[in-house]
Amino acid sequence: MTIKEIFTTMEYGPAPESAAEALAWLVDQGSRFGHFINGEFTAPGAGFDSKNPATGEVLASLTQASQADVDAAVQAARKAQGKWAALGGPGRATYLYAIARLLQKHARLFAVLETLDNGKPIRESRDIDIPLAQRHFYYHAGMAQLMEAELPEAEPLGVCGQIIPWNFPLLMLAWKIAPAIAMGNTVVLKPAEYTSLTALLFADICRQAGLPKGVVNIVTGDGAVGEMITAADVDKIAFTGSTSVGRRIREATAGSGKALTLELGGKSPYIVFDDADIDSAIEGLVDAIWFNQGQVCCAGSRLLVQEGVADRFHAKLKARMDKLRVGNPLDKCIDVGAVVDPVQLNTIGEMVAANRVGTMHQAQVEMPTEGCFFPPTLIEGLTPADPLMQEEIFGPVLVSCTFRTPAEAVELANNTRYGLAATLWTENVNLALDMAPKLAAGVVWVNGTNMFDAAAGFGGVRESGFGREGGWEGLAAYTRPKTKAKPLAKVEAFGGDGAPAGGLDRTAKLYIGGKQARPDSGYSRGIHGKSGALLGHVGLANRKDVRNAVEAAAGAKSWSKTTGHLRAQILYYIAENLSARADEFSARIEAMTGRKSGKAEVEAAIQRLFSAAAWADKYDGQVHGVPIRGVALAMKEPVGVIGVLCADESPLLGLVSAMAPAIAMGNRVVLAASEPFPLAATDFYQVLETSDVPAGVVNILTGSHAELAKPLASHLNVDAVWSFSSSDVSAEIEAASAGNLKRTWVNNGTAPDWTQDQTKRFLQEATEVKNIWVPYGE
């Protein structure tokens, strides 16, 4: 094309990026790769081909890992972990800085290899993926340097098994490996079968950086290898991928004691109000849905447009779509590259072909005749219940509907089982900051989209998973408190056949929705003291009582909107009322347990209430220093409805230690009282009744933990389940939680020291971090 033709047509000419260096690197490796275990590449074995999705060309042959390979990698990581942790934060920081520097030195090689292997445009690999990967290693080198000073009570988990997807191969690797090794863990990572090449190049970088053997291990293969890692002797599993696989991993790790974080699918809303800068919103939308061919878990794939501007917005959007450039990903002028594999291409095509509603527009652009390409697609006029509005397509397909009011926009945006990200476009900052807290999402972008940084945590809620990657909050996924829990034996109730003291029988009821309620089962059991004296009866709650309690808690959602100051006052009031009856509660505890520790337990419970009250208006978020002209607000929000199986051995202190921080943060709770010693809990609801606690905020059930655990953990309106029970229910809770992928915190047969104030740990478990990105300026 001549200069004259360029100025006449205003078309982009080709600007190809050379693949010579990347292909030469593959040839230098023999175009065949083994695994990276204990600092060495193993001999290549039987496996599969890695192909360029834009051309179908075979790039290299990779090895399918065997059980022996995974075992060797885990063994190497285990052997290296102690010395790596003992090296200290500053020592580890040196290696992370070296890796970051080498990623910069070889940036173009990584970018080209990523594009060849994945099919994404070279502009995206060069300008987004690789710089962000470098940023994560620099940032977490700093975190390693600061760990001993800023996180003195934290220690590494041990060996981390990590499984990453094919849409951001190197970036996902950086998100996983950088924080893990910064905190003193070692890793065994499995890259996606389709896109393993940059992970293997990264392994070579680790050798160049002199990283000690065994700290980073990389094994390649299909999903079977991921299953092997999940079942291996590791201390944590970190997975990014589909919700269906994440659910299976949750079930597979249930009861194993392994820490787990899941970053899963999404169906993120892209909300455009009638006062938005329409042209800017359309450019943002191009980035939101056609970036990386729509193969992004947080892609803005559901367009919600206010009715008054919908027609104009859609008309402008279609015109913009027709100007997108689809083709060779190595061409620096290309906007949309290749879908990763024919399997994914077929899935996208089948989902679109199955749709029978709405109006479809596909970009009127020249399409390549070979390779895995799908045209940018818009389907408008859908209803919230249509499959394409609910199911993740994971391709360059945008679906759209309209709304009238901000309240309706919130309802539509939250009408999904996912909760990863959301985008808002409006010139009204008050509207934006009013909307952001109402959206069920781990990340909210205002007048922008797809903004990421190592300093700001990323992760979702609901079936988009749990845990955060990046920022201070992300370090919780790779550390644990140094305090050691003790083995916990089943705490048994005392038996007896004595008559009630004074001849007066008392049957304590359940406490649901601010009222005392008889159990649905119609059964009760006697509670006896150590001497066999009958202290009273309690009802035996069942599945229906759990349902009623959860309904009451869900109905008290206005509690989450109250101020921390108000919640603190109520907690102080509870503490005052408990203090007034301290002698009575002390006597009750001693009568039930046969121990002379009632006074100390009551006093500790009062102090827990005061601690939670003190934190209620102080456990706040942060403003992250991200590299934009704007701010990223890390807001701590309540988890929602939390089910708690309270400690058996500390009937009052265990209940209060869990309840107080949870409601201090705006959560509502369903508490299953100490199974052997429940009368402290049924006495305690009398304190709640006189302390201005709104109905439904605290609900108390009595009965068998073994019978209540599964209904609580499987209930879809419960957002988290904690268990400190002496009954063996941890595995059952974690397995049942897979239904809606709720958060769990279980004791795995151990007991904390309840005499120690662990309120901050409870506050951490009682909150979700939502990062709200707000650019500013004209």
Q: From CA 23, how far away is CA 27, in angstroms rounded?
A: 6
Tokens matching residue 556: 């008290």
Number of Cβ within a 10 Å radius of residue 561? 10
Angle at 499 between CA 497 and CA 500, to 5 degrees: 125
What residues are paired with 526 via a beta bridge? 537
CB distance 377 to 404 below 8 Å: no
Q: Can you tell me whether residue 170 is helix, strand or coil?
A: helix
Closest CA relative to residue 145, chosen from 89, 85, 87, 88: 89
CB distance 648 to 726 below 8 Å: yes
Instruction: Tell me how far the alpha carbon of residue 36 is from its chain's centroid.
Output: 28
Q: From CA 140, how far away is CA 454, in angstroms rounded?
A: 8
Q: Can you tell me whether residue 379 is helix, strand or coil?
A: strand
What distances in angstroms separate CA 719 from CA 426, 667, 669, 681, one per listed residue? 31, 10, 10, 23
Those residues with Cβ within 8 angstroms of residue 28's Cβ, 6 or more apart along the chain or in another chain? none
Closest CA relative to residue 460, chosen from 500, 424, 418: 418
With residue 731 as reference, give the H or E element that holds it.
Answer: helix 730-736
Q: From CA 422, how far away is CA 267, in angstroms rounded?
A: 9
Q: Can you tell me whether residue 568 is helix, strand or coil?
A: helix
Amino acid at 85: A
Across 327-471, the runs of DSSP E, i.e. the strands, are 359-362, 377-380, 397-403, 421-425, 443-446, 465-466
Those residues with Cβ within 8 angstroms of residue 478's Cβ, 6 or more apart along the chain or in another chain? 156, 157, 160, 179, 180, 182, 183, 185, 236
Closest CA relative to residue 85, chosen from 160, 139, 29: 160
Torsional sign, CA 706, 708, 711, 716: negative
Q: From CA 169, how far away is CA 199, in angstroms rounded?
A: 7
CB distance 487 to 756 below 8 Å: no
Closest CA relative to residue 388, chosen from 361, 348, 422: 348
Number of Cβ within a 10 Å radius of residue 532? 11
Q: From CA 428, how far away is CA 272, in angstroms rounded?
A: 12
Tokens matching residue 421: 């990200």
Q: Which of 160, 206, 297, 298 is catalytic?
A: 297
Query: Could you give the dihedral angle defined by the CA atoms of residues 404, 410, 413 and 418, in that order, rounded to the nearest 10 degrees?
Result: -170
CB distance 534 to 496 below 8 Å: yes
CB distance 141 to 97 below 8 Å: yes
Using left for φ > 0, alpha for ψ between -120 and 50, and beta otherwise, residue 703 falls in left
Q: Which of 17, 124, 193, 263 is catalytic?
A: 263
Active site includes 160? no
In degrees rounded to 5, what are phi and psi of residue 457? -65, 150
Active site includes 297? yes
Q: From CA 354, how far away is CA 347, in angstroms rounded?
A: 11
What distances in angstroms separate CA 676 from CA 491, 501, 603, 776, one per listed residue? 7, 19, 21, 57
With residue 159 as reference, give the H or E element that holds it.
Answer: strand 159-163
Q: Which single residue is written with the structure tokens 């998100």?
A: 175
Q: From CA 177, how far away is CA 200, in angstroms rounded?
A: 14
Active site residues: 263, 297
